[in-house]
Amino acid sequence: MNIKDTKITWFVFLAYECAAAEEYLELMAEKGWLLQSIKGAFLKFKKIEPQKIKYSVDVFDHKDSDVVLEYREYCQTAGWNYICRKGEIQIFYTEEDEKIVSIHTDEAEKFKSVFKASLWYEVGQFSLTLALIFNLYMEFFLQPTDIAIESNVEILSLITIFFIILINIIGVVRFCFWVMKAKGHLKENKYMPYNSYKQIMIKSILTKSYALIILILMLKFSGSNNKVSNEINISLLIIIGVPIIILIFIHKFIDRKRFSTNTNIPITIFSTLLSIYLVLTLSYAIVFSRITAIEQSKVKTEKVSLTVVDFGFEESNTASPYTSYDRSILGQRIQYTSSNEEEELNYIIYESQYPWVINYKKVRLLSGHSKYHIGLNQENTSLPSNIKVYSNSQKKQFLVVSEDKIVDIFKRLDGISEDEFLKKVYEKLFS
């Protein structure tokens, strides 16, 4: 077939959006395109003379069983030509000008079929939304460590999760409104309403906008000079892509084979478990590779502003001090660690031009130390008033905070008073 005679479009619709699908297909026919097949969200059309064609996008509980085949024969006898199906959704069309018999005449029965076909999808989306919300709650409130917002990967993950939650909540709310509206119409013996083509296009525009924002952010992050972030971005795409490819392949395999429901369910469960296993395995590999990459991307010691040498001590001869660096669009993070049997200096610097980032870090660090039974209390010091200092009772753990920087320090340096220590920290890291 000539490629000019074929057109493929992206159009996502659910069972309770059948009317919108009919409207869309009829508009395509007026432009000279007749539907041939549907694969997921992709619709394939063939070129025809522009004309008015009537479509019927119908919901039937069965797939390619004897019952549904008999149903199709009945529809064809009534003047409807079968095209293809999408799950429980059957698509027919007619070119006849005269009024023909509607496929579904019992509105109550039709509502049950549409509701059942849509419910499982919405339940799945709602369950996913709850799981993501709980994950965010764990990240923001329950975990002792704060979210690494100095990492572009972490920021991108959070934005993606927020968008998925927002899209799913909108979808579930729309479905609930449709159910209430449809039941109201049925009680009044009116035709069951569907979401219109205009409504589904608004949903499509929102979804595409969210996807475009994520893509722009990924390109922006990938364009950074941070080699570690770039490698993890690629790995993140693999984590997201591999399970999706597996599920699409399994879905197509089930569609091509006329298995029974008892066979399809185990196949679906197995493919889902396989996808979860791959996500966990790849995620573990990402964590391991991140640790390795960070180890390989250590910053040079001479670029670290504060070291044990500044307090009159020598660096350990047995091992080089550990230093690392990470940066995102919100801020940067520098870590320094030097220790031996006698002295130790360990600190992490968080810098950001956004005060809310510094305040978030301060709250989470104070909370995290508290959960590890390291209570930090604000101290009165001789440092400038814009510098806030928090320390524990042993004067070994410190949190030094300014408007654009926060330093989390642990020190074990004999012979150095608290005032001397804090003055040196201020001189090297804040002045």
DSSP 19-31: HHHHHHHHHHHHT
Between these two residues, 264 and 18, which has the higher pLDDT value? 18
Length of the chain: 431
Between these two residues, 70 and 231, which has the higher pLDDT value? 70
pLDDT for the residue 295: 47
CB atoms within 10 A of CB 423: 15
Nearest Cα to Cα of residue 114 among 13, 263, 35, 223:
13
pLDDT for the residue 71: 79
Nearest Cα to Cα of residue 58 among 20, 92, 87:
92
Strand partners for 330: none
272: left (phi over 0), alpha (psi -120 to 50) or beta: alpha
Paired tokens of 359: 């305040």
CB atoms within 10 A of CB 160: 19
Question: How many angstroms from the chain centroid is the CA of residue 407?
Answer: 31
pLDDT for the residue 63: 55
Paired tokens of 242: 């591999």
Q: How far is CA 163 from CA 170, 252, 340, in A?
A: 11, 27, 47
Three-state secondary-structure class, residue 231:
helix
pLDDT, tens digit, 9 for 90 and up, residues 212-235 = 776 676 666 655 445 445 455 555
pLDDT for the residue 296: 43
What integer is the mean pLDDT of 174-198? 77
What integer is the mean pLDDT of 33-37? 91
* Spans of all domains in the chain: 3-94, 106-223, 227-297, 301-429
pLDDT, tens digit, 9 for 90 and up, residues 344-397 = 899 999 999 998 889 888 888 888 887 766 788 998 988 999 999 999 988 899
Three-state secondary-structure class, residue 301:
helix
Nearest Cα to Cα of residue 34 among 20, 23, 50:
50
pLDDT higher than 80, residue 103: no
pTM of structure: 0.61
Q: What letters, b where the CB count within 10 A reaches 16 and e where it falls short, cover 356-393?
A: ebbebbbebbbeebeeeebebeebebebeeebbbbbbe
In this structure, are residues 306 and 429 in contact, taking their beta carbons and an 8 Å threshold? yes
Beta pairing, strands 33-39 & 42-47:
antiparallel
Highest mean pLDDT among 137-146, 243-252, 369-378, 410-419: 410-419
pLDDT-based confidence at residue 422 (cuts at 50, 70, 90)? very high
pLDDT for the residue 361: 87
pLDDT for the residue 126: 84
pLDDT for the residue 148: 67
pLDDT-based confidence at residue 240 (cuts at 50, 70, 90)? low
Integer Cα distance of 58 and 207 in angstroms? 25
**301-429 belongs to CATH 3.30.420:** no
pLDDT higher than 60, residue 114: yes
What integer is the mean pLDDT of 106-117? 76
Strand partners for 39: 42
